[in-house]
């Protein structure tokens, strides 16, 4: 496990840009010094040029201030571009890590409110870094510099600006206090809103067929209303205080002009100081005003960082284990027990068996007997609460997911394909896969001829979730994906639930092929046709192993005295 220096992976990633932040700080220093150009120019014009009537002096001063303005604009542009690139680099640095964490979160907490939220949180942080907000925070330390110059002009001018600073700091703190809860509520309702929409999209056919669309729409509208209300509250708070800050800053400029006029009338200062003091006061208060205006983004980015930090601590990055030899000897399960993620209920317990090369195991039992849970454990989706699953003597946790995945084929009960071509789905989106290996997997699943009949053959887009294919075609294509690369262990969960007679015959031949090449195949079955190619049976009930051994012996033993274990001849509910 990798250690984080600061306890926060985001902070550590940002620390890699320390040099860039130092450069931004230096740029901000020059920008704030150059920002004096306008006020000093106005002071010189009123105090020297107008009284002397010297046009050459005016032209020289204007040329000088134009050059200074150019450098100020160039530095601000460079600062903005640097911050934008820091945000992009942060996304590139942590993007893969957060993506992996999203996948891990789905496995550890599948019922989490919105598992894609971490990626949006990273977008929020990147968006804030690319906004004008960070520039305001880099300018804030220069506020005493401007305030000191105002005091140099005259003590009354300095006091007027200091009062303005105190008031705006108070507004900033009030903005933070008032916007914290609405910002959190906005994020929470946004997650709920997205969850309902995604659920409705995935179940669109059922919603329409059973007249549920209107009722689900009402739920979505209610959550959307709460989301909009929270968003409005956040915007009202941030925008209201931001507008008040801008109005006060304009009022303060007028107040500084009034104080300056009073001092000029009393002959305590020059007329140029009036204009210079007004410009300096605006510049001194501008970062505070900008910070208030960007407080909504800052608060959202801060909360996004806190959520990401908690997630990345929950799912720490693991150092890849040492590569192990290609498995070829056995799969051993000893005293296995497990509970599903987010559920305090044991669904598999006291399961033990050993499978040798060429073995075919059928897992049978009534619904909710733990068959599909066992399948998830065997392929490493879930981690055992007790006991071990070992391939060639090595527990699954000693394999990296990528290395283990190359030796495992898995056909889940609910088949979903990824948006890509038929060939890409078969080869598991491996860019190094050769056409020969893809076709070999398709032939092993007896789907090669079917693929050739598609509009573009292996280059046919399957669409999102395989929407352009029938259920049977998707299941057979997923079987080819499971067989790609000749994996040592092939686990099939209800692989014939959508297959016709031809598909079931192809499934049987595929299982025989795995056994003949020295692999191990495990099939979770409700229909007897799926057991034609196995030689061993594991009977389960209530999450416990009831019997294990040769197929004929176990079936003869368990079916007669325990009708609950009987294999039915049609698809049953998910186990």
Same domain, 256 and 383: no
Length of the chain: 575
Residue 325 forms part of a structural domain: no
* Pair 380, 369: CB distance under 8 Å: no
In a domain, 570, yes or no: no
Q: Please give the Cα distance from 73 to 94 (Å, whole number).
A: 32
**Residue 178: CB partners within 8 Å, gap ≥ 6?**
237, 241
Question: What is the three-class DSSP state of 104?
Answer: helix
Given this model, what pLDDT does residue 120 score?
A: 83
Query: Structural domain of residue 120, as residue ranges?
Result: 9-314
Q: In terms of domains, do 308 and 339 share one?
A: no
- Which of residues 266, 289, 314 is at a domain's end? 314
Q: Are residues 258 and 352 in the same domain?
A: no
The confidence score (pLDDT) of residue 498 equals 78
- pLDDT score of 458: 92
Kindly state whether residues 347 and 306 are assigned to the same domain: no
CA–CA separation, 295 and 454 (whole Å): 55
Q: Going by C-beta distance under 8 Å and a sequence separation of 6 or more, which residues neighbour residue 182?
A: 230, 233, 234, 237
- 461 with 394, same domain: the answer is yes
Residue 484 in domain:
yes
DSSP string of 198-233? HHHHHTHHHHHHTT-HHHHHHHHHHHHHHHHHHHHH
| Average pLDDT, consecutive stretches of 10 residues, N- to C-terminus, the chain (575 residues) | 65 87 91 86 83 87 91 91 89 86 75 68 88 85 86 85 84 78 80 78 74 82 86 79 77 82 82 79 79 78 87 79 88 91 83 94 89 91 90 90 90 86 92 93 92 90 71 89 94 86 89 94 85 91 91 81 46 36
Residue 245 lies in a domain: yes
Same domain, 278 and 337: no
Instruction: Specify whether 175 is located in the same domain as 262.
Output: yes
Q: How many helices (H) does the chain have, and how many strands (E)?
A: 21, 10
Examine the domain organization and report whether 206 and 138 are in the same domain.
yes
Helices (H), 141-212: 143-153, 155-202, 204-209
CATH number for position 351: 3.40.50.300
What is the domain count for the chain? 2
| CATH code of the domain covering residue 283 | 1.20.1560.10
Same structural domain, 233 and 335: no
Residue whose pair of structure tokens reads 């571009």 in the numeric block: 81
Give the per-residue pLDDT at 368.
84
Within this chain, do residues 419 and 450 fall inside the same structural domain, yes or no? yes
């Amino acid at each position: 496990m990798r250690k984080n220096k600061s306890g926060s992976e985001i902070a550590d990633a940002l620390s890699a840009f320390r040099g860039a932040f130092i450069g931004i700080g230096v740029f901000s220093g020059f920008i704030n010094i150059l920002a004096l150009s306008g006020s000093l120019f106005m002071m010189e014009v009123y105090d020297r040029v107008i009284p002397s009537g010297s046009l050459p002096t005016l032209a020289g001063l204007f040329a000088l201030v134009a050059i200074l303005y150019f450098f100020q604009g160039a530095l601000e542009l460079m600062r903005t571009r640097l911050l934008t690139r820091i945000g992009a680099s942060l996304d590139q640095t942590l993007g893969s890590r957060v993506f992996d964490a999203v996948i891990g979160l789905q496995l550890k907490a599948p019922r989490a409110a919105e598992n894609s939220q971490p990626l949006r949180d990273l977008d929020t942080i990147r968006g804030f870094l690319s906004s004008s907000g960070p520039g305001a925070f880099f300018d804030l330390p220069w506020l005493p510099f401007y305030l000191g110059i105002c005091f140099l002009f005259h003590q009354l001018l300095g006091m007027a600006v200091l009062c303005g600073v105190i008031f705006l700091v108070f507004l900033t703190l009030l903005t933070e206090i008032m916007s914290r809860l609405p910002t959190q509520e906005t994020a929470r309702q946004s997650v709920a809103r997205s969850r309902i929409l995604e659920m409705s999209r995935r179940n669109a056919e059922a919603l329409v067929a059973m007249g549920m669309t209107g009722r689900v729409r009402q739920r979505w509208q209610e959550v959307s209303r709460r989301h909009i209300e929270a968003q409005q509250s956040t915007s009202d708070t941030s925008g209201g205080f931001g507008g008040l800050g801008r109005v006060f800053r304009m009022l303060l400029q007028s107040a500084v002009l009034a104080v300056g006029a009073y001092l000029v009338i009393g002959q305590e200062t020059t007329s140029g100081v009036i204009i210079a003091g007004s410009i300096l006061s605006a510049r001194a208060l501008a970062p505070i005003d900008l910070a208030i205006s960007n407080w909504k983004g800052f608060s959202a980015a801060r909360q996004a960082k806190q959520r990401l930090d908690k997630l990345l601590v929950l799912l720490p990055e693991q150092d890849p284990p040492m590569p192990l030899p290609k498995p070829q000897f056995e799969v051993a399960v000893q005293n296995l027990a497990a509970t599903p993620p987010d559920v305090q209920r044991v669904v598999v317990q006291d399961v033990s068996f050993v499978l040798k090369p060429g073995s075919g195991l059928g897992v049978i039992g009534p619904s909710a007997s733990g068959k599909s849970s066992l399948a998830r454990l065997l392929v490493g989706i879930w981690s055992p609460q007790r006991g071990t699953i070992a391939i060639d003597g090595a527990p699954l946790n000693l394999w990296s997911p990528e290395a283990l995945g190359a030796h495992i084929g898995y056909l889940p009960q609910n088949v979903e394909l990824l948006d890509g071509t038929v060939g890409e789905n078969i080869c598991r989106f491996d860019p190094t896969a050769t056409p020969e290996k893809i076709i070999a997997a398709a032939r092993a699943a007896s789907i090669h001829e079917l693929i050739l009949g598609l509009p573009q053959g292996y280059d046919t887009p399957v669409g999102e979730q395989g929407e352009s294919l029938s259920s049977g075609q998707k299941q057979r294509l997923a079987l080819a994906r499971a067989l790609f690369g000749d994996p040592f262990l092939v686990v099939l969960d209800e692989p014939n639930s959508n297959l016709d007679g031809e598909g079931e015959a192809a499934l049987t031949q595929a299982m025989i092929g795995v056994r003949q090449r020295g692999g191990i195949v495990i099939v979770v079955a409700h229909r007897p046709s799926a057991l034609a190619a196995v030689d061993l049976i594991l009977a389960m009930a209530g999450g416990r192993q009831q019997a294990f051994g040769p197929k004929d012996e176990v079936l003869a033993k368990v079916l007669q005295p325990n009708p609950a274990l009987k294999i039915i001849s049609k698809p049953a509910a998910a186990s």
